[in-house]
Amino acid sequence: MCELLGMSANVPTDICFSFTGLMQRGGNTGPHRDGWGIAFYEGRGCRTFHDPNPSAQSEIALLVQRYAIKSPLVISHIRRANRGRVCLENTHPFSRELWGRNWVFAHNGQLRGVKQLPLGHYRPIGTTDSEHAFCWLLDRIRHRFPKRPRQAGGLWSWVWALAIELNRLGICNFLLSDSTYLYAHCSTQLSWLTRQAPFGEARLMDAELTVDFRAETTPDDIVTVIATRPLTDNESWTVMSPGSLAIFGAGVRLAEFC
């Protein structure tokens, strides 16, 4: 199992607090020693940082925490390798271009026989099941929608249909984004939480850290955090139901398919 972390917000927001909790699971409070990565969207651009080293001891992870990059949409992943050796090209999140947009994907679970799924346009660079699944997903989206659809609804339900197909091969919790929307698919385990006014205190489970969001936010801020397991022990997280797909935009849950 790996750990996923995503964020969708209506203003550029730093994810340091949640990221600090997640990184502890990379070798300290969790067994995910096989690398980590994070993607920060900034407009149509996307910054990604990857490191095959355990996140709890990663210099790059420390940089990311210190530098406090603000972004409205973030996808992060820490890895416990099951398929594919530990190396940079096997480190999530993966990214590809479709319709002139950066698409980013991070996955946890194992997908038996996923490499039998035929690929067309996109090819894996590494050897993980996850990247193969991502390439297949984008190929199928591209095939169904050669151009970016005006209305997102049809695309959302198509992504859900594809997620269900992947579920048949095993466990397929994933976070996916096209730079506007954050798609969160729960195969077995995924939870989310929306923070908005009135803001309060949040206390990390995995580190001695509490933050008072009243001091960090404005009353208009809306920030949703999605994680494999809740990161705080004093807030009420929504546990997603297996097989469901939630779509978030600008901090708000826009739709859920289940």
Give the one residue of 12, 44, 212, 258 binding a copy of itself; rule: CB under 8 A.
Answer: 44
| 219: Cα separation from own chain's centroid | 26
| Residue placing its CB nearer to a copy of itself in the complex, 41 or 156 | 41
Does the footprint of a copy of itself cover residue 93 (CB under 8 A)? Answer: no
Does the footprint of a copy of itself cover residue 100 (CB under 8 A)? Answer: yes
Side-chain-facing half-sphere of 110: CA atoms under 13 Å: 7
Strands 70-78 and 201-203: unpaired
| Residue 2 annotated to the active site | yes
Integer Cα distance of 117 and 42 in angstroms: 32
Give the one residue of 63, 161, 197, 239 binding a copy of itself; rule: CB under 8 A.
Answer: 63
User: Which span sits near a copy of itself by CB under 8 A: 74-82, 106-114, 123-131, 225-233?
Assistant: 123-131
Does the footprint of a copy of itself cover residue 220 (CB under 8 A)? Answer: no
Does the footprint of a copy of itself cover residue 146 (CB under 8 A)? Answer: no
Does the footprint of a copy of itself cover residue 124 (CB under 8 A)? Answer: yes
Integer Cα distance of 105 and 241 in angstroms: 20
Does the footprint of a copy of itself cover residue 47 (CB under 8 A)? Answer: yes
Does the footprint of a copy of itself cover residue 96 (CB under 8 A)? Answer: yes
* Residue partners of 139: CB distance under 8 A and separation at least 6: 119, 120, 121, 122
| Residue placing its CB nearer to a copy of itself in the complex, 178 or 206 | 178
Does the footprint of a copy of itself cover residue 88 (CB under 8 A)? Answer: yes
CB-based contact 238:192 (threshold 8 Å): yes
Task: Specify the residue for token string 């997620």.
Answer: 163
* Residue partners of 99: CB distance under 8 A and separation at least 6: 145, 147, 148, 178
Environment class of 170 (CB within 10 Å of its CB; exposed 0-12, middle 13-18, buried 19+): middle
Q: Least distance in Å: CB of 241 to a copy of itself? A: 34
Does the footprint of a copy of itself cover residue 217 (CB under 8 A)? Answer: no
Integer Cα distance of 6 and 78 in angstroms: 12
Which residues lie near a copy of itself (CB under 8 A)? 42-50, 59-60, 63, 67, 87-91, 96-97, 99-102, 121-126
Q: Which residues are catalytic?
A: 2
